[in-house]
Amino acid sequence: MRYQRVIVLVFALLVFAASLRAQSTISGYVTGVVSDPSNAVVNDASVTLKNPDTSFTQTASSGSDGVFHFGYVPPGKYKLSVTATGFSTAERTIEVTVGQSTAANVQLKVGSSASTVVIEGESNPIQTENGDVTTNYDEMQIQLVPNPGADITYIAQTAPGAVMNTQNGGGNFSVFGLPSYSNMFTINGMDYLNSYGDNNKSGATNNSIGGNEMQEVTVVNNGYSGNYGSLVGSNVNFVSKSGTNQLHGNAVYDWNGSSLNANNYFNNLHDTPRPFDNVNQWAASIGGPIWENRTFFFVDNEGLRIVIPTTSSVNIPSPQFEAATIANLQAVSPGSVPF
C-alpha cells in the first residue's frame, strides 16, 4: 500500500508538470506595480486586463507591495485598466507573448476616478528568473520571413544560437551544438514531432506547412527551466490564430515555374534544354464571431503542389558486350529471340 501511494504521488506530480509545460507553451503572464506620483506603492487597486477583440477579461487587485499578477493569459494585445480611490483611472495597451512575463508598471495620477489617463509606451517581456534564450515572432514576422514551401519550423533558424543542419540525420537546424533531433515542436501545447525521428519532417515534401494559421511563434533555446521539459534542444512553440468579434481573413498564392528559372551550367554545356518545373502554393483563411464575445470560428486551408525535374544515371551495355551476349544466347538456344 505504501508503494502504491508513492506511485500515485509520482504520477500526479508528472501530470502536474506536464500541465504546466503545456500552459507555458500557449500562454503568457502579466505582472506590474501600481504606484502614485511620489513612487509610493498603491495597494488594493483594481486592475482589469481585457482583450478588445474577444472580450476575454481577467481582474486582479494590487497587494500590500503594489504588485499585481495575471497568469495563463492567451497571447495577443490587451487593454490594462487600473482604478484606485483618490486617483484617476489609468489605461495602457500591452502585448502578451507565449511563455513570457510582460512588465506593465502603472503610475496613477491624483484625481477623480471618472477621469482617465492613457499611458503611451511599449511593455516589453522581462526574463530575470532563468537563462532561457527566448525569441518571439508575431504574425507579421512569420509572414515576411522568406520561406519557400511554407515550412512553419523554418523561422526557428533565425533565432540566436540556431544554425542550419548540414550533418546527417533529420531536422533542419540545431542549436548550441546539440543534434537536430533534440528539438521540440508544439502547436497549441501539443507535441508536433515525427514519430520515427523526433524531428519536424512531415508530408511528401518534408515541410510542415501551416504558417498562415499561426499567430505567434516562441523559440526557446537553452531552455533548461522546469516549464520546458522533454528534449534539451530548441523548444519551438506555435500558437494558432482564432476568431474574433471582427470578420477577418486573407488569401495568398505563390507560383514558381520554368519560365522564372535559368538553366544550369552543366545542361548548357551539353546543350540540354531547361527542364520543366511547376510549383503552386496557396493559403486562405477566414475567422469571425459565432456568438459575439463568447464563441468564434477560424478556418485555414493551405496546400503545396510541386512538379520538379529529377536526374538519375542509367548504365547500358556497350555495343560489343551486347553483340557477344546475343551471340552466346543464340549459340546455347538456336532460334531464340533475345529480349
- Confidence label for 297 from pLDDT (cuts 50, 70 and 90): very high
Distance CA 34, CA 106 (A): 5
pLDDT exceeds 50 at position 10: no
Q: Are 58 and 48 in contact (CB under 8 A)?
A: yes
Predicted confidence at residue 8, as pLDDT, reads 45
Predicted confidence at residue 126, as pLDDT, reads 58
- List the one residue out of 30, 247, 1 whose CA is nearest residue 126: 30
- 207 and 295, same domain (yes or no): yes
- List the one residue out of 283, 282, 279 whose CA is nearest residue 305: 279
- List the one residue out of 94, 158, 103 whose CA is nearest residue 127: 103
- 51 and 115, same domain (yes or no): yes
Residue 138: inside a domain:
yes
Quickly count helices (H) and strands (E) in the chain: 4, 20
Residue 116: inside a domain:
yes
Q: Are 105 and 82 in contact (CB under 8 A)?
A: no
Which of 220-234, 270-284, 321-335 shows the lowest per-residue confidence on average (mean pLDDT)? 220-234
Residue 192: inside a domain:
yes
Domain boundary among 97, 126, 155: 126
Residue 317: inside a domain:
no
Q: Are 26 and 217 in contact (CB under 8 A)?
A: no
Helix (H, G, I), strand (E, B) or coil at 60: strand
Residue 338: inside a domain:
no
- 186 and 280, same domain (yes or no): yes
Distance CA 317, CA 131 (A): 64
Predicted confidence at residue 196, as pLDDT, reads 62
- 282 and 297, same domain (yes or no): yes
- 281 and 204, same domain (yes or no): yes
Distance CA 191, CA 187 (A): 7
Across residues 111-137, what is the average pLDDT?
A: 69
- Confidence label for 62 from pLDDT (cuts 50, 70 and 90): very high
Residue 327: inside a domain:
no
Residue 336: inside a domain:
no
Domain boundary among 105, 126, 147: 126
Distance CA 254, CA 280 (A): 6
DSSP state of 66: S
- Nine cell digits for residue 213: 494559421
Helix (H, G, I), strand (E, B) or coil at 231: coil
Q: Are 218 and 135 in contact (CB under 8 A)?
A: yes
> How much of the chain is helix, strand and coil, in % rounded to 5?
20, 35, 45
Q: Are 252 and 240 in contact (CB under 8 A)?
A: no
Distance CA 104, CA 111 (A): 21
pLDDT exceeds 80 at position 199: no
- 36 and 139, same domain (yes or no): no
Residues 6+ away with beta carbon under 8 Å from 296? 54, 242, 243, 244, 245, 287, 288, 289, 290
Distance CA 228, CA 21 (A): 6
More confident call, 175 vs 111? 175
- 177 and 285, same domain (yes or no): yes
- 34 and 176, same domain (yes or no): no
What is the percent of the chain where pLDDT is above 70? 80
pLDDT exceeds 50 at position 69: yes
What is the percent of the chain where pLDDT is above 90? 29
Distance CA 1, CA 15 (A): 21
- 302 and 168, same domain (yes or no): yes
Instruction: State the chain's mean pLDDT as an integer.
Output: 82
Total Cβ atoms within 10 A of residue 189 = 18
pLDDT exceeds 50 at position 254: yes
- Nine cell digits for residue 12: 500526479
Start-to-end CA span in the chain (Å): 77
Residue 169: inside a domain:
yes
H/E stretch holding 191 reads strand 190-191
- 163 and 246, same domain (yes or no): yes
- 163 and 298, same domain (yes or no): yes
DSSP state of 320: H
CATH code, 60:
2.60.40.10
Per residue in 302-332, pLDDT (tens digit) is 988 888 877 777 888 898 998 888 888 878 7
CATH code, 254:
2.170.130.10
Across residues 264-276, what is the average pLDDT?
A: 88
Rg (CA), the chain: 29
Please count the structural domains in the chain.
Answer: 2
Domain residues for the domain of 91 are 24-126
pLDDT exceeds 80 at position 337: no
Domain boundary among 83, 109, 126: 126
Which of 72-76, 111-115, 261-265 shows the lowest per-residue confidence on average (mean pLDDT)? 111-115
pLDDT exceeds 90 at position 33: yes
- 168 and 258, same domain (yes or no): yes
Predicted confidence at residue 202, as pLDDT, reads 67
